[in-house]
Each structure stands twice: as C-alpha cells, then as structure tokens.
Structure 1
C-alpha cells in the first residue's frame, strides 16, 4: 500500500499549520482513499536527544570505524526514524515558523535522520551525495508575517530556504512550499491569507 508520511511539527492542534494540514489530508484522502497515512507528531512521538552514543555513532560512521554495541543500539533508533521517511511515497510537513526559523523539534528530527549511510554518504571525489530517492513533498509553513507579498515587517524567512536545502541534501527535490501568513495582526488579512492558502492546499492535495 502506498504511503504518505505527515510530519506534524506544531505543539498546538488548532494552530494555523495544523489546520492547513487537516485541509490537505481531508482532500488527499478523498483523492487517494487507498493510501496509508503515517502521522509522526514530533511533540508526542519519541525522538532521541542528539548526544552521547548516537552522536558518537555518527562520527564513527564518518571516520569509517566500527560501532561499539552502545553506538549500534543508538544508531538503530535513528535508522528506524529515517526508514519512516525512506518508505514514504509522498511527504507532508506542516510547521509553524518560530523566530524566523523552524521549531526545535523539527530541527531535532532533522539532526536524527541526517546520518551517513542513512540519508547521505560522502565520496572523496564527489563530496556529499544523497541516499534518498526523490518524492513529491509539500511543506506548509505558518508565520506571523506575510512572506507571500513581502509585507514581512522587516523579518526574514530563514525556514523555507533551510528546509529546501536540507531536503535537497538528502535527495528530496520535488518540494512545494505553501506559506500561511500573516497569522498575527488585523483580522481581515489573517482571514484572507488563510482562505488563499487553504484553497491552494486543497488543490495540491487533490492531485498530489
């Protein structure tokens, strides 16, 4: 059965990014009722801290050294999390923007799965090479500012270019970003931004 992996990155079930994800999934289920949807809630599902044995395992792998038993056990946890991404035919990421960037839980997931031998490898002649196959991916990013029209109140969107580069690094290039913003300020711009984003999200989901 084909699978969609949904990374849910907001701690709030009623947040703008979570609401946008529900719009996507409702339309996706109607278009592809035979698909399995694997939801990984980064605030509830277990993510190991990126320190100790798992960090040592990464550097052992980069240095071509054998794992200790503790490193092997720690790396196996990262491998199981990475496999959920590797097995997905499609990916949905819904996230808020925090302090111009991504929430620390999403960064923690990235640090856990971006491992040599799992999602990338290093070749002395060619440099870093991705190990994942490309797959259609949608990233919904909700932000207090409006990064669609440029009315960003002097703020910089560092989340979008970072996620685009990270996904490219591990092999995922077919990525479409859907911003939702502004989510703060006067009610009318918020309503208009939400409606426009939900319309685009529904259209993407129907043909995703």
Structure 2
C-alpha cells in the first residue's frame, strides 16, 4: 500500500495559493491511488522538535564526540521518530511559498531536524551520499513577487535551488515542480492559477500511479 506524506509549508490555510494547488494534486492522487494512505504533516499545527543543544550533542556522539546516554538518548529518539515518519512515505507532496527569497522557517526547521547522517544521508571520503531510494516528490512553489523573467530588484530564488539540492542530498531524485509566481503583481493570475492546478492534477495522474 502506497503512502503519501503531504508536508504543508504555508500557514495561510484556504488563503494559500500553494495549498489550493496541492489540493488539486491530492484529489487526483486519491483517484489514481484509491488505497493509498495520505499522511498530512502541517508544519504550523504539529510540534516539530527544535534541533537544540541536546540534539546537536546527541548527533556529535556519532562522530566520536561524547557518549549517547541520558537526556541525549531522549533527544535523539525524537529525531529518529520524526525522521522515520518521513522515510516511511513512498511519495511526497510539499508546498513551498517563497519567504524572503527562500523557504518558510518552519519548513527549514523540519528539514534541519530530519537531515541527519545515518538517517537520511551518509558521509564519507567522497562526500555526501543519499540513503533514500525509490521516492517521488511533487513540490508546489509560489511567490508573491519573484519571477525569473523580472529584474533582480524583484527578488532572487533561493527557494527552488535549495529544495532541489536538499531532495537530491537525501535521495529523492524523481521530482516534479509546479510553480505559480508573482501572484501579487501579475496581470494573468487567474490563468496562471488554472494552469498550475491543471499541471498538478496531471502530474498526480500520470506520474504517481501505483
């Protein structure tokens, strides 16, 4: 049985452009995979453990610094639990509104929590190597101002470039992107929104079949 993890990166609920596009993907995904399990992880409603001093200290024990005992074990168990939830999915749907050229802090916190050596990636003499295999992702990107066709004064993209790097790092190499850009200034928002919704639905139908 397939499992989709839907990571909600926007706090705006029904007012969110990215969430509304994601809903179109979900609707088609459920039709295409009627037996699939849908696990929604709303980063603004669920408590994601901060990667604090104890967790950093626990991580360093795997690099030969200190001993994993006492409160460090508890701290690391929290990391493993939330990472296992991520790893248990076959497919991912992630909404990523652009915040200050990059991604929302809640999504960055989540990524920093689950991106750990021996859990989602390995590191050796040749650098990083992914530990995940046979995973797919659909990532929905939105921005209120930025667009690659606009001058630099309208912003830069550290949103898509960062997500692509991270997904490749951990081994999610089959990635489909849906974008809706410059929503606050474009003169064709309705058309652009419609095209994004159609594309999201088509991706779910043609690329995420069981």
TM-score by length of 1: 0.92
Question: Paired residue for 2:46?
Answer: 45
Given that 1:181 and 1:194 are in contact with CA atoms closer than 8 Å, whether structure 2 keeps it comes out as no
**Any residues of structure 2 matched to 1:64-143 within 5 Å, and which?**
65-123=66-124, 125-143=125-143
Residue 164 (structure 2) pairs with residue 164 (structure 1): yes
Structure 1 equivalent of residue 198 of structure 2: 199
Matched residue SS, 2:22: helix
Alpha-carbon distance between aligned partners in 2 of 1:174 and 1:65, rounded to the nearest angstrom: 38
Shift of 1:182: 2.1
Greater alpha carbon shift after TM alignment, 103-112 vs 164-173: 164-173
What TM-score results when the alignment is normalised by the length of structure 2?
Answer: 0.91
Corresponding residue SS for 1:45: coil
Q: Match for residue 30 of structure 1?
A: 31
- How far the C-alpha of 1:33 sits from its partner, in A, is 0.8
Contact 2:90 2:134 in 1 (8 A): no
Corresponding pairs, count = 205
Gaps of 5+ in 1: none
Confirm whether residue 174 of structure 1 aligns to residue 174 of structure 2.
Answer: yes
RMSD: 1.6
Which whole-Å CA distance do the structure 2 matches of 1:156 and 1:41 have between them?
26
CA deviation after TM superposition for structure 1 residue 96, in Å: 0.8
Contact 2:146 2:157 in 1 (8 A): no
What CA deviation, in whole Å up to 9, does each residue of 1:90-125 have, x standing for no partner? 1110121111100000000001001111111222x3
3-state SS of 1:163 partner:
helix
Q: Counterparts of 1:145 and 1:176 in 2: how far apart (Å)?
A: 22
Cα 1:185/1:154, change in 2 over 3 Å: closer
* Contact residue 18 and residue 95 of structure 1 kept, 8 A: no
CA distance in 1, matches of 2:11, 2:123: 35
What is the SS of the residue equivalent to 1:62? coil
Residue of structure 1 in register with 2:188 after alignment: 189
* Contact persistence 1:182–1:189 (CA under 8 A): no
| Counterpart Cα distance in 1 of 2:63 and 2:18 | 36
